[in-house]
Amino acid sequence: MGKKILVVDDEKLIVKGITFSLEQDGFEIDSAFDGEEALNLARTNAYDLIVLDVMLPKIDGLNVCQQIREFSVVPVIMLTAKGDDMDKILGLEYGADDYMTKPFNILELKARIKAILRRAKPKVPAQAESATVISSGNLKINSESRRVYVSDVEVALTAKEFDLLELFVNHSNKVYSRENLLNIVWGYDYPGDVRTVDVHVRRLREKIE
C-alpha cells in the first residue's frame, strides 16, 4: 500500500489536480476543503504527510497546523499566497516542515513530498530501537527509528528537526552557517531563505533544552 497523504485546500480544482498527480505515483489520497474537516481527518487517520493551504474556511491553515502539532509530528507542507512572507514564517513557527508558494509546479510539489517522506520516521520493530543510538549528555538519538529521548523521555520531533539535531550531534565540533544548514538539510535547490533555519533551530532548542 502506498503512503497516505491528506490534501487540504478550499479550491477543489487544486485538490483534484494534486490528487490525480499523486495517485499516478501510487499515493493514497484523502481530501478536505476546510480546516475543521482537515483536523477531524488528521485526528482519526494515520497520514504520512499533509499538504495544507493557509487560507481555509472555518479554521485557517496556520491554526490547523498548530493544532495538529499538539497530537502529531506528521510532516506538513504549507501552501501560501505568492509573496506572503508572514504566512511562510508563521507556518514554520506553528510546526510546518516546508512551504510552497501558489501558483506552484506540481512536479516540484511531488519532489518535495518524496524528499520529506524519505526522511520521515520509519516504522521499525521494537528490537531495532537499540540498534543505532547516539548519546550526548542526557540526549539519546536512535538513528534507525528516528526517535529522540531527553533524560529517557521521548521528545516528538518533526522530520526536519530530527535531521538538524542528528547533524549537530554527529558534527558537534563544526560550526555551520544558516546557508550551510539550508543546503544540507533542505537541499541546494530549496527556494526558501535562512529564516526557515532560524525557526526550526529555535523550535528544536525549545524541545530539547
Domains in the chain: ranges and CATH: 4-119 (3.40.50.2300), 126-208 (1.10.10.10)
Q: Who has greater pLDDT, 194 or 105? A: 105
The Cα 99–Cα 95 span in angstroms is 11
State the DSSP string of 9-74: -S-HHHHHHHHHHHHHTT-EEEEESSHHHHHHHHHHS--SEEEEESS-SSS-HHHHHHHHTTT---
Backbone angles phi, psi at 78, to 5 degrees: -90, 145
Contact 22, 113 (CB under 8 A): yes
pTM for the full predicted model: 0.72
The mean of the pLDDT values for the chain is 86
* DSSP structural state of residue 183: I
Cell numbers representing residue 59 in the block: 479554521
> Pick from 174, 168, 166, 181: which is nearest to 133 by CA?
166
Residue range 92-106: mean pLDDT, rounded: 89
Whole-number pLDDT of residue 118: 82
> pLDDT tens, 114-123?
988 887 655 4
Pairing type for strands 28-32 and 49-53 reads unpaired
**Mean pLDDT of all residues in 10-17:** 96
Cβ neighbours of 15 (radius 10 Å): 19
Q: Where residue 135 falls among pLDDT bands split at 50, 70, 90? A: confident
Q: What percent of the chain stands above pLDDT 90? A: 39
pLDDT above 70 (res 169): yes
